[in-house]
Chains A and B, each alone.
Chain A
Amino acid sequence: MEVFKNPQNVGEIPDADGEGTLGNPKCGDVMKVQIKVEKDDKGKEVITDCKVQTFGCVAAIASSSTMTDMVIGKTVEEAKKLTNAEVAEELGGLPPVKMHCSNLSADALKKAIENYEKKRS
């Protein structure tokens, strides 16, 4: 509930390196994830910023915020491995009926990373 009260990293990155939108307003949830990627001094690609816009319920808003907190500072390769279950766990668990909400945030991030990699190549 604390996360929901003050969701983190809400908004847009004007010069994002990758972005992905996932979901369907008909079933209730849409998430747009944007990432900023920079190479660190060892040459690894690190996600330096992640912003999200969410249309959805309490769980969707909270899980999208939690996801951004989890990936900022991670390398792209690490971020790719993030699963919806991990986001839900970090959030303190979700009822089964809501699991599709947290599924969305990890999957939307994956779309943003795919978009970043396509742009780069």
Chain B
Amino acid sequence: MVEMKEVYLDNGATTMVDPLVVKAMQPLFSEIYGNASSLHHQGEAAKHKLNEAREAIAKAINAKFDELIFTSGGTESDNLAILGVASAHDKSLKDHIITSKIEHPAVLNTCKYLESLGYSVTYLDVDTEGFIDLDQLENSITDRTLLVSIIHGNNEIGTIQDVEAIGKICKKHGVLFHMDAVQSFTKTSIDVKKIDVDLISMSSHKIHGPKGVGALFVRKGTKIASVFKGGGHEFKLRPGTENVPGIVGFAKAVSLASSSHIKQMSKLRDKLIRSVLDEIPNTKLNGPKGDRRLCNNVNISFASLEGEALGAYLDIEGICTSTGSACSSQTLEPSHVLLSIGVSHEIANGTLRMTLSRFTKEEDIDYTIDALKRYVEKLRKMSPINTIIKKL
């Protein structure tokens, strides 16, 4: 039997753990297994590894050693940032949060939870490419505003917000700024000395590290309280015995990322976008082009077909992609991000997200373009609404 080709284009969901990361983690299971809080030599050895990892990741964003809190992942980091800041402030004085309509559920639902506790939340609109309006942001800030939380690189359509400008506005008005950098970390440069940002959420498994590890950058002096109650780990902000193997793997993954990968991914991303738009009629790119788009994100709507069916045909060919469409998940609602940028329900349902990694090869992209052409045609031939749906 011929071995099936595997093309993994769902790196926005999760990534393959780099074998070098696995190798770096290996000794932390059965050789150096101490609790980093213990005082004996096993504990000391674990603590040393933990410190090294913290130092390396902090350095990658130009932060200080004690400004980096390890968590269980992006969702926890987002929760800790938002809930931790809210609970550390007097609600009778500060009870307003500003976010956008295209946040990840980890931020969106945390904000909704705070609404249920009596906080007010402003959900900023975005334009057709997914950018927030800086004037609307500034006009939304009041003396009761506590926090602005904006996604740096959007997980669905790849829009990279102007976080330097957002940070300046927040600083000017004395409001805290949290950015969800789960998708953007290592895929675009983040320097906390250049961006006026107070909190940054990061995740390991999106960058070829292990699952179950993330980090939250907390700028020194930021008023924030722990969400979990327990011991004094992570500068008293995140109790729980540190996941040293995971953290060491995360740090190794960060060290393996380089700007040459960004260039390489951008090139393949643009080839995929260009080929699909040029060679398949009635297609539309969602999100911006060029440097303001995540280097690994492609999100395209195909008229007259459903993304889930297209994804299923691609899967038969060994190609992993994802949809934000109606039948794709447990809900039948199309993606809130696509609806927010003005994509209609019908077109949103015909959308496919393909997210590359530094392991994606040009031949993978060529193979995918070929399969896309064949299956889009097949599905459109099957479809009774070729003529009903308005042309893109």
User: B331: which A residues are within 8 A, CB to CB?
Assistant: 97
User: B383, A55: Cβ atoms under 8 Å?
Assistant: yes
Q: Are B388 and A25 in contact (CB under 8 A)?
A: yes
Contact assessment for A30 and B349 in the assembled complex, using a CB-CB cutoff below 8 Å: no
B276 CB to nearest A CB, Å: 20
Spell out B's residues near A (CB within 8 Å): 304-306, 308-309, 312, 316, 325-328, 330-332, 344-346, 349, 381-385, 388-389
A55 with B304: CB separation less than 8 A: yes
CA distance A58 to B316 in the complex (A): 12
Known: A28-B349, A54-B382, A58-B312. 10 other contacts (CB 8 A): A4-B312, A30-B384, A53-B382, A53-B383, A53-B384, A55-B305, A57-B308, A57-B328, A60-B309, A101-B327
- Residue A59 at the B interface, CB < 8 A? yes
Our pick among A55, A58, A61 for the contact of B385 (Cβ within 8 Å) is A55
Bitwise interface map of A from 30 to 42 toward B, beta carbon under 8 Å scored 1, else 0 = 1110000000000
Q: Is the CB of A97 within 8 A of B305?
A: no
A98 to B309, CA, bound (A): 13
Check B327 against A28 for contact (C-beta < 8 Å): yes
Chain B hits for A73, CB < 8 A: none
Cβ-defined contact, A27 with B384, below 8 A? no
Contact A54 B326 (CB under 8 A): no
From the candidates B325, B346, B383, name the one contacting A26 in the complex (CB within 8 A): B346
A26 to B348, CA, bound (A): 9
User: Chain A: interface secondary structure?
Assistant: mixed
Listed by A's residue number, 6 A-B pairs whose Cβ atoms lie within 8 Å are A4-B312, A10-B381, A25-B389, A28-B332, A57-B308, A58-B309
A120 part of interface (Cβ distance < 8 Å): no
Residues A58 and B330 in contact in the complex (CB < 8 Å), given A5-B316, A25-B389, A31-B384: no
Cα distance, A25 to B345, chains bound together (Å) = 8
Contacts of A27 in B (CB 8 A): 326, 332, 345
Q: Which B residues are in CB contact (< 8 Å) with A30?
A: 383-385, 388
- Tally of chain A residues near chain B (CB < 8 A): 27
A97 → B minimal CB distance (Å)? 6
Q: Is the CB of A32 within 8 A of B309?
A: no
Q: Interface digits, A61-97 against B, CB 8 Å rule (1 contact, 0 not)?
A: 1000000000000000000000000000000000001
Contact A98 B327 (CB under 8 A): yes
Interface residues of A in 1-31 (CB under 8 A from B): 4-5, 7, 10-11, 21, 25-31
Assembly CA distance A55 to B346 (angstroms)? 11
Instruction: Give the shortest distance, in Å, between A57 (CB) and chain B (any CB).
Output: 4
Bound Cα distance from A120 to B305, whole angstroms = 34
Q: Are A25 and B382 within 8 A (Cβ)?
A: no
The reply to whether B349 and A97 form a contact with Cβ atoms under 8 Å apart is no
Cα-based distance from A53 to B387 in the complex (angstroms): 13
Chain A residues whose C-beta falls within 8 Å of the C-beta of B383 in the assembled complex: 30, 53-55
User: In whole Å, how far is B9's beta carbon from the nearest beta carbon of chain A?
Assistant: 18
> For the complex, what is the distance from the CA of A102 to the CA of B288, rounded to whole Å?
37
A55→B327 CA distance, assembly (Å): 12
| Residues in A neighbouring B327, C-beta threshold 8 A | 28, 56-60, 97-98, 101
A40 to chain B, nearest CB (A): 29
Chain A residue nearest to B388 in the complex (CB): A25
- Report B-chain residues with C-beta under 8 Å of the C-beta of A28: 306, 325-327, 332, 349
